[in-house]
């Protein structure tokens, strides 16, 4: 009965643990407790599902690219960053720093996507202003218009809200497992 303590234990679903012949988790369950089941690590499984979704869906890949473009545009140009921070000061809202996405784990997408969504109204205003500002050259105005037109697409706005919520929820749930 002492092994019933292991009834809800999970272990990572790597080959080292789950291999049918030599896996540590499988050996443990055979030798000590039939209650240990190879359920897999929730964070790892969620990460694999997220990565697979981004590989399969062109909309998600395009959105990922858009968030990365916004990071580059707003982190490299001090004038844009100051305009964005000024917008937040005027509206008395908190500015959320743009972060880059590292294609390592699903949690690395959570903060960049969340900050992108929170800054969306300000970023759209700043991009629109700079796309018509005569002080910018013709080529710069065209790039601002391009990024602005990508950002205002319905699917990108929708994805910013949905992905932000899903990734935040996934990170909270993964802490419990």
**pLDDT value of position 8:** 42
Q: Over the stretch 139-167, which tens digit does the pLDDT of each residue have?
A: 888 888 888 888 888 888 888 888 888 88
User: Which residues have a Cβ under 8 Å from the Cβ of 148 and sit 6 or more positions away?
Assistant: 124, 127, 128, 131
Is this prediction's pTM over 0.75?
Answer: no
Q: Please state, rounded to an integer, the average pLDDT across all residues of the chain.
A: 76
What is the C-alpha separation between 61 and 57, in angstroms, rounded? 6
Nearest to 155 by CA among 55, 68, 58: 58
Domain boundary assignment for the chain = 2-31, 57-176
- Which segments in the chain show pLDDT lower than 70? 1-26, 28, 33-43, 103-107, 175-177
């Amino acid at each position: 009965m002492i092994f019933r303590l292991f009834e809800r234990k999970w272990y990572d679903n790597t080959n080292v643990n789950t291999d049918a012949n030599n896996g540590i988790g499988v050996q443990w369950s055979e030798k000590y407790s039939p209650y240990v089941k190879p359920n897999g690590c929730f964070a790892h499984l969620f990460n694999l599902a997220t990565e697979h979704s981004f590989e399969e869906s062109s909309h998600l890949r395009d959105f990922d690219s858009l968030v990365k473009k916004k990071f580059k545009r707003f982190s490299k140009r001090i004038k844009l960053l100051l305009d964005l921070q000024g917008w937040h000061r005027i509206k008395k809202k908190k500015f959320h720093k743009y972060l880059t996405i590292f294609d390592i784990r699903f949690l690395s997408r959570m903060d960049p996507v969340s900050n992108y969504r929170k800054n969306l109204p300000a970023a759209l205003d700043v991009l629109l202003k700079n796309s018509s500002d005569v002080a910018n050259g013709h080529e710069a105005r065209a790039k601002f218009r391009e990024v602005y037109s990508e950002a205002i697409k319905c699917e990108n706005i929708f994805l910013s809200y949905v992905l932000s919520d899903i990734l935040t929820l996934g990170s909270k749930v993964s802490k419990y497992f």
